[in-house]
Amino acid sequence: MQELDLSLNHYLAIKEKLENILGDEKNFITNASNFASLIFHNLNGVNWAGFYFISNENLVLGPFQGKIACTRIPISEGVCGSCVKAKKAVIVPDVHKFPGYIPCDPSANSEMVIPVIYKNKIIGVFDIDSPIYNRFNEMEAEFISSLLEILMKSSSVDSIITYYELHN
């Protein structure tokens, strides 16, 4: 398996790539799609990376990279639901020990879910899975969170709120 690169330079390079990819593009789905691809292909040891957006009582699958995933997750269920409830990143070192874990790809052994915040409210989550146990840490959660902030600031999000019938 590929060696994990957890160096500061590696993360700075990912941030720079994101800024270049976003450029002047404002379409949120376009930018979120490339965001998922950027994380999937640049964060080491990842087998799934993507968005779920809150729509009424569910988390609905958004742009992602990886194998086909569950389309709707009830807002109170799974690691994703826990993230919505906690309104902060949830890091799961061993998904098999997480009560209520929703399996999508059988090769996933650890997971990290980060809230997607817009105008101080959670509108969804960004979910990352890894076949490596204990793959994620707080530092990476903060890093992904800072990238999500860049994504939200450089995209038009209001139309998405209407589309997903988010009660903001």
Closer to ligand SME at the Cβ: 25 or 105?
105
Output the smallest distance, CB 135 to ligand SME, in A: 13
Residue 80 lies near ligand SME (rule: CB under 6 A): yes
**Shortest distance (Å) from residue 156 CB to ligand SME:** 26
Tell the smallest beta-carbon distance from residue 20 to ligand SME (Å): 27
Q: Is 140 in the site for ligand SME (CB under 6 A)?
A: no
| Closest C-alpha among 133, 74, 85 to residue 113 | 85
Contact between 104 and ligand SME by CB under 6 A: the answer reads yes
Element (H, E) at 100: none
**Residue 32, amino acid:** A
Question: Which listed range, 16-24, 101-109, 130-138, 159-167, lies at the site for ligand SME (CB under 6 A)?
Answer: 101-109
- Give me the least distance between CB of 69 and ligand SME, in Å please: 4
Note whether 110 and 135 are within 8 A (CB).
yes
Tokens of 92: 């799961």
Q: How many CB atoms lie within 10 A of CB 100?
A: 10
Of 10 and 87, which has the nearer Cβ to ligand SME?
87
CB of 48 to ligand SME, least distance (A): 5
Pairing of strands 121-130, 48-55: antiparallel
CB 105 within 8 A of CB 66: yes
Which residues, 6+ apart, have CB-to-CB distance to 133 below 8 Å? 93, 94, 109, 110
Q: Which is nearer to ligand SME, 102 or 150 (CB)?
A: 102
* DSSP-assigned beta bridge partners for residue 92: 111
Per CB under 6 A, residues contacting ligand SME are 48, 69-70, 73, 78-80, 101-102, 104, 108, 111, 127, 129
